Every structure is written in C-alpha cells, then in structure tokens.
Amino acid sequence: MLGAIEAGGTKFVAAIGRGHDDIVAQVQIPTTTPDETLQRTIDWFRANGDIAGLGLASFGPVDLDPASPEWGYITNTPKAGWGQTSVAARLGDALGCPVGLDTDVNAAAIGEHLYGAAQGCDVAIYVTIGTGIGGGAVINGNTVKGSRHPEMGHILPRRHPQDIDFAGICPAHGDCLEGLASGPAIKARWGASLSELAPDHVAHDIIADYLAQLCQTQIALYSPQRIILGGGVMQTAGLLDKIREQATKRVGSYFGVDAGAIITPPGLGTRSGIAGAFELAKRAVNGKK
Amino acid sequence: MLGAIEAGGTKFVAAIGRGHDDIVAQVQIPTTTPDETLQRTIDWFRANGDIAGLGLASFGPVDLDPASPEWGYITNTPKAGWGQTSVAARLGDALGCPVGLDTDVNAAAIGEHLYGAAQGCDVAIYVTIGTGIGGGAVINGNTVKGSRHPEMGHILPRRHPQDIDFAGICPAHGDCLEGLASGPAIKARWGASLSELAPDHVAHDIIADYLAQLCQTQIALYSPQRIILGGGVMQTAGLLDKIREQATKRVGSYFGVDAGAIITPPGLGTRSGIAGAFELAKRAVNGKK
Ligand SMILES: Nc1ncnc2c1ncn2[C@@H]1O[C@H](COP(=O)(O)OP(=O)(O)O)[C@@H](O)[C@H]1O
Ligand SMILES: Nc1ncnc2c1ncn2[C@@H]1O[C@H](COP(=O)(O)OP(=O)(O)O)[C@@H](O)[C@H]1O
Ligand SMILES: [Zn+2]
Ligand SMILES: [Zn+2]
C-alpha cells in the first residue's frame, strides 16, 4: 500500500491505496497547528495499516532540495506556526517509510501528465486559482524545481482599465496576479466570490483578462502543449471560455499555438494533486526522494 | 570533425572543430537570401573537409519537432524570403551528415550549462537582448521546446511611468518587451544605441526596468539558478548592475533567491551559441536529432 497527502493551507487530504485509481481510504483533516495537523495525519495512517512509501504534495514555500538539511520543511510562510517546520521527514519518520516530495501544483502537473489532460505533452503546466494562485510544470517528464520552486502566481499583469483603483492584497507585491485574481482578492474587491456575481458583472472580464495574461506569459516562456486551470475560482460558470477567448486574442498567431485549444480544465477534476502524490510515493519506494 | 552553425537573422557563424574549445576554422557569412546564405555556408564547409555531424543553432521561428515534415524549417518569419524554408535538412543533405537542431538561445543555454556560467544548474535561462529579445532554457539537462519553442521576448512588461507615449515596435504586439527594449526599439525611441546615450539619460533606467521585469517573470515561472543576459544591448556599461539592482528590489525575499546573484553575463562571452551548437553536433552523431 502507498500513502498520498495533498497538504494545503486549508486542509490536508490523505489517502491510502495502490494508486490514484485504487484508493482504499481517504480523509480530510483541517490545517490547524503543525503539531495537531501532522499528528492527526499520522494517527489516521497508522489506523489504516502499513504503507511502503508516502507521496507528499505540499503547499509552499517548501524546501525541495534533497541535499538540504531542511528538506521537506515549510520555510518562510506567513501562515501562523508553520514557518521553519519539518513536514516530510516528520511524517516519514513517524510512518517508517520513504517520502517523495514536491509542491502541490507540481504534483498536480504530474498527475495530469500521467493520467489526465496533459498525457503525452513534453511541456505541461498546472495552475490553481483558489485561495492563492500557483503553478507547476512538467518538462520532459520531470517537474521544474530550480533554486526553490516556481511561484507562478506572483507575476505582474498589466492592470485592466476598469480595475485601476484596487491596490491588490498580496502581502509581498500588492497587485501581482495573486493579489488581483485569487479568490480572496475577488472577495476583497467585490464582496463575493466570482460565481456569486451576476454574469454581466465586469469582474468576470477583469479576472479573465488577468488569467489570460498569465496564459500568454506561460506560452511565451514555456511554449506548453497544455495549460490546465484548476482551483475553486475556476468553478465559476463561463470563466474558462472567457479566458480562452481573451488568451486567443492576445496570443494571436505569433507563438504558433492555438491558445484556446491548449487551455483546459483538469482531466482528473479535483484529484490531480492526489494522483501526483501517489506517483511521488511510487518514486520514493523506488529510491527517488 | 564536427560542424557548428549559429544561424542569425544578420549573420551565420560557422565553425569546424572537435568542440567549442578546439575550433580549427570559423567564418561569418551575412544573412541574405536563403539560397545564397546556405550555399555559401555549404561551400565553406566543403572547402574545409568532412564533418561527422552538424549542430545548428537557429533563429526562429523554427520547427524543432523531429516528427514533423517541416522539421528544421524556418516557419512564419517576417524575414523576407525565409518563410517556410528548409535549413537543417538542406544543410545535412548537402554535407552528408546528421544534424542536431535547436533555437539559437536554447543552444546558448546548453553551452552555458555545460561550459559557462550555468554549470551544475537544474534550471538555467539564457536571454539575448539584441536585434530581438529571445530566451532559452535548460531544465534537468534538456532544453525546453514544447509546442514550438519559447518566445520569451514577447511578454508584456508594465510600462515605465517615464515611457508611456512610445507605442513599441513589435509588429505582432506593439509594446511587448521586444517592442520596448530591443536594440531597434531603443534606436526608434532615442535615435541611438543605449551605449551612445549619456549615463544619466533616463533610457538606462527604463530599459533596466523592463529587463528586470523579465527576470522577475522568469524567476516566478522557472525558479532558475541562473539567468544569463547576453546580446549587443548588454554591452552597455552599467546596464547589468542596474538590472541586478532593480530585479533585487522587485523580487525581494519572496522567491527565496538572490536575484542580484543569479543574474550574470555569459561565461563564454559571445561563444555560448557556438558552444551549444557543437554539443548539438555531438548529440546528432550519437543519434539524437
Ligand atoms: N464555485 C466557486 N466559484 C467561485 N469561486 C469559488 C468557488 N469555490 C471556491 N471559490 C473560491 O476559491 C477559493 C478557494 O479555492 P480552493 O481551490 O477551493 O481551495 P484552496 O486554494 O484553499 O486549496 C476561495 O477564495 C473561494 O472564494
Ligand atoms: N555596445 C553596444 N551597446 C549598446 N547596444 C549595442 C551595442 N552593440 C550592439 N548593440 C545593439 O544590439 C543590437 C544587435 O544585437 P546583437 O546581439 O549584436 O546582434 P543580433 O541580435 O542581431 O544577433 C543592435 O540593435 C545594436 O544597436
Ligand atoms: Zn505576490
Ligand atoms: Zn512581441
């Protein structure tokens, strides 16, 4: 049996099974303090029998460097209590198994690449637009890590002409993409989620514009065959089509891709991250950290 | 012996040798019509003895897909006469050897990764700021190709407050990065190259700002350990330091990287592309297209 965890800032999803398509037990644990959250996770796994390996798809910033003494630590997060906290090694030690680690969005990109909407793609990007905005990428079968890991939500889109007064809510950058287009940024500006605003409310055009700019930037820098858009905000009816339309207009024929065709919803629904975490578990069992 | 070509829009540089550090002959051929340019290149190689393989670092857009019937074609370029033109196969057929192909900037990234300023980096980016602006990337030892290849010069930086009237010169996007900060964009705006403008001319701050935004975008999307800035415009005294300074300020501590430290000039000077082309030749001899 393998264990898989999608560790988010709001909740931990943990699963046991032989793979993403053969899950025997699954649980959600709210993210409170590290001690409480990790102990509840460990207890749940122990109550469900031994696992040979664990895959951890983690919120960030997280140290992914296998050579670092802080491998698997959440690092400088603003999330209360979680700064400089060991997660991966602590779970692995408690459960007595190797741990495969990546970011939540890199893991989701792995899941989509293997089993979802990005099968066969040399270059695939997964983006979540939810409480935050993050992106992960699989290139030639491996995720992009680099000096830490991508933080794709923190690019600077050009301001929409009907959205010039709002300062943005990113503590680090103000009006970066996450500061303008994440779920909380939408609430801060218009007092409701995008789904709750009337279909002709200008918010739909504004948010689609910013997310189309993200797609254009990703196309320019990565030339992806797939950009997969997931997360709570993408549940908004009509948003995906608006983004496709605006991205197609922006991208034109220049980059040699049909933006409308490569931008898709997750093939695995909300299970991309857990599917990737199972793959990380398999790799851990096979000796890859 | 191996052959290496850096095929640019202004000139072709061709070299013969055992590798980038053992070149026995080299030539520059101006880029005119495809027929003339390619024939002169072929004649030069023939006059210099047999080669076992050829590496081609090409300007774009170029078809990199080994499975495509137009592999090695320059595709929809505005460059007169070069649209839909076979380059790689034509050179390989004439010289009777396998051809390894990549973009000029991907090849430069390979050269820098193997022998220059990006040695040991999982994620390295090479940017040229010259007649155009382009970027290539090496991830875990391979370049990023995807649906075509990256076109990193065509992102949309936020306009500098002292540069709001200039419309930009990119035929496709107007005021994308290339439209604002390439050599010709600088000339169009201020009538001179950046080196020819007084050190306290506002152009230096404006161009540094746009290039720092490119670095921030690359850090957000790629988390690179190195961003290497090459090309004619980067010859401007003081520009690299200004970019480092502005990128450091923009990036802050958020991405977990020291922007000033990862932004560097090419370790191989102007030879990054040819070094990468020799590597492409070696791979072609070993059976990789
Ligand atoms: N159906 C929906 N329509 C619009 N926005 C939604 C919807 N569901 C959730 N959201 C927004 O998405 C955010 C939560 O994103 P989600 O991806 O569900 O969780 P998280 O990012 O915390 O993992 C909230 O800000 C919420 O307002
Ligand atoms: N020393 C220099 N200082 C500033 N700009 C320069 C310098 N040398 C070349 N340039 C500019 O760079 C552009 C040429 O770029 P270069 O990288 O040399 O060639 P290309 O991009 O055509 O391969 C021209 O627009 C030129 O004005
Ligand atoms: Zn931000
Ligand atoms: Zn452009």
- pLDDT, one tens digit per residue, over A166-180 is 999 999 999 999 999
Q: Are residues B73 and B21 in the same domain?
A: yes
Q: Mean pLDDT in chain B?
A: 97
d(CA A124, CA B65): 16
- In Å, how far is A171's CA from the nearest CA of chain B? 10
Question: What residues line ligand 1, using a CB cutoff of 6 Å?
Answer: A 8-10, 128, 130-131, 183-184, 193-195, 231-233, 235-236
User: Is B108 within a domain?
Assistant: no
- pLDDT, mean of residues B54-77: 96
- A161 in contact with B, Cβ within 8 Å: no
Q: Which ranges constitute the DSSP H helices of A117-230?
A: 177-181, 183-190, 202-222
B14 and B150 share a domain?
A: no
pLDDT digits (tens, 9 = 90+) for B168-210: 999 999 999 999 999 999 999 999 999 999 999 999 999 999 9
| Inter-chain touch B222–A122, beta carbons under 8 Å | no
Question: A236 burial class (0-12, 13-18, 19+ CB within 10 angstroms)?
Answer: buried
Q: How far apart are CA B228 and CA A222, in angstroms?
A: 17
CA pair distance A136, A121, nearest whole angstrom = 14
Distance between CA atoms of residues A195 and A130, nearest Å? 13
Q: State yes or no: pLDDT of A230 exceeds 80.
A: yes
Pick from B137, B127, B253: nearest CA to B178: B127
pLDDT in tens, B126-156: 999 999 999 999 999 999 999 999 999 999 9
Distance CA A77, CA A134 (A): 14
Nearest to B91 by CA among B258, B264, B281, B238: B281
B74 near B4, Cβ under 8 Å?
Answer: no
Which of A139, A154, A155 lies closest to B139 in CB terms? A139
User: Quick one: closest CA in A to B250, which residue?
Assistant: A173
Q: Residue A136's pLDDT is what?
A: 98
Contact A145, A152 (CB under 8 A): no
Query: Could you tell me which residues come within 8 angstroms of residue B255 by beta carbon, excluding any fewer than 6 positions away?
Result: A147, A148, A151, A154, B219, B220, B223
Whether residue B249 sits in one domain with residue B199? yes
Asked if residue B12 belongs to a domain, the reply is yes
Does residue A109 belong to any structural domain of this protein? no
- E runs forming strands in chain B: 2-7, 11-19, 22-30, 53-58, 73-74, 85-86, 99-103, 123-129, 133-139, 142-143, 226-230, 263-264
Count interface pairs A-B at CB distance under 8 A. Answer: 136
Nearest of B205, B70, B77 to residue B134 by alpha carbon = B77
Paired tokens of A105: 């969005």
Tokens representing residue A129 in the block: 């637009």
Contact A225 B151 (CB under 8 A): no
Q: pLDDT band for position A12 (50/70/90)?
A: very high
Q: What is the CB neighbour count within 10 angstroms for residue A79?
A: 12
**Phi, psi torsion values for B10, nearest 5 degrees:** -100, -40
Contact B148 A218 (CB under 8 A): no
- Confirm whether B202 is domain-assigned: yes
Residue B166 and residue B225 share a domain:
yes
Burial status of residue A118 (CB atoms within 10 A of its CB: 0-12, 13-18, 19 or more): buried
Report yes or no on B110 lying in a domain: no
Q: Which among A127, A233, A242 is the best mutation to test ligand 1's pocket, defined by most ligand atoms within 8 Å of the CB? A: A233
> Is pLDDT above 80 for A288?
no
Query: In terms of residue numbers, what domain contains B53?
Result: 2-103+270-285
For chain A, say whether B216 makes contact (Cβ under 8 Å).
yes
| Spatial separation of the C-alpha atoms in residues A97 and B263, rounded to whole Å | 39
Give the rounded percent of residues in chain B with a pLDDT score beyond 90.
96
User: Do residues A158 and A214 lie in contact, with contact meaning Cβ atoms separated by under 8 Å?
Assistant: no
A82 lies in some domain? yes
Asked if the structure places residue A125 within a domain, the reply is yes
What mean pLDDT comes out for the span A106-135? 98
Q: Which of B58, B131, B234, B272 most suits a substitution to test ligand 2, by most atoms within 8 Å of the C-beta?
A: B131
Neighbours of B12 (CB within 10 A): 24
* pLDDT over threshold 60, residue A289: no
Considering the domain architecture, whether residues A57 and A136 belong to the same structural domain is answered as no
What's the whole-number mean pLDDT along residues A32-57?
Answer: 97
| Residue B137 dihedral angles phi and psi, to the nearest 5° | -140, 145
User: For the segment A81-92, what is each residue's pLDDT rounded down to a tens digit?
Assistant: 999 999 999 999
**Residue range A254-266: mean pLDDT, rounded:** 94
Is it the case that residue B245 has pLDDT exceeding 80? yes
- Which A residues 107-126 touch B at CB under 8 Å? 121-123
Dist. CA B83–CA A248, nearest whole Å: 23
Overall average pLDDT of the B23-34 stretch: 98
Q: How far is the CA of B165 from the centre of ligand 4 (A)?
A: 17
Q: Is the pLDDT of residue B105 over 80?
A: yes
Query: Region B52-65: what's the mean pLDDT?
Result: 97
| Contact residues on chain B for A151, CB-CB shorter than 8 A | 220, 223, 254-255
Residue with tokens 């300023």: B117
Task: Assess whether pLDDT exceeds 70 at residue A132.
Answer: yes
User: What would the mean pLDDT of B238-253 be, rounded to a whole number?
Assistant: 95
Question: Which among A146, A159, A223 is the nearest to B144, CB-wise?
Answer: A223
State whether A127 and A89 are in the same domain: no
pLDDT tens digits for A194-217?
999 999 999 999 999 999 999 999
Ligand 4 centroid to Cα of residue B63, in Å, is 19
Q: Could you tell me the CATH number of the domain that includes residue A43?
A: 3.30.420.40
Instruction: State whether A255 and A275 are in the same domain.
Output: no
Q: Say whether A257 and B147 touch across the interface (CB within 8 A).
A: yes
Q: Looking at the structure, do residues B189 and B276 belong to the same domain, yes or no?
A: no
For residue A218, the chain B residues in CB contact (below 8 A) are: 221
Lowest mean pLDDT among A72-86, A91-105, B81-95: A72-86
pLDDT of residue B127: 98
The token duo for B68 is 């495509």
pLDDT > 90 in chain A, percent? 96
Q: Is A70 helix (H, G, I), strand (E, B) or coil?
A: coil
Same domain? B182 vs B254 = yes
A106 with A136: CB under 8 angstroms?
A: yes
Using CA atoms, how far apart are residues B192 and B194, in angstroms rounded to an integer? 6
Decide: helix, strand or coil at residue A30.
strand
Cα separation, A72 vs A64, whole angstroms: 6
Residue B214: both structure tokens together: 């490119």
B228 band by pLDDT with thresholds 50, 70 and 90: very high
In angstroms, what is the span from residue A163 Cα to ligand 4's centroid? Answer: 24
Q: Binning pLDDT at 50, 70 and 90, where does residue B252 land?
A: confident
Would you state the structure tokens that stand for residue B218, as one six-digit string?
């690359």
For residue B289, name the pLDDT band (cuts at 50, 70, 90).
low
pLDDT at B253: 86
Q: For a ligand 2 pocket test, name from B6, B28, B211, B233 the mutation site with the most ligand atoms within 8 angstroms of its C-beta.
A: B233
Q: How many domains does chain A have?
A: 2
Average pLDDT over residues B21-36: 97
| Residue B226 and residue B129 share a domain | yes
Which member of A145, A155, A252 has the closest CB to residue B172?
A252
- Specify whether A130 is located in the same domain as A86: no
Separation CA B117–CA B125 (nearest Å): 10
Residue A111 resides in a domain: no
Report DSSP state, residue B78: S
Give backbone dihedrals phi and psi of A126, rounded to 5 degrees, phi first: -115, 130
Q: Which two tokens stand for residue A221?
A: 């820098």
How many angstroms separate the CA of residue A24 from the nearest CA in chain B?
35
Contact assignment for B256 to A75 by CB distance below 8 Å: yes
> Is A70 in the same domain as A121?
no
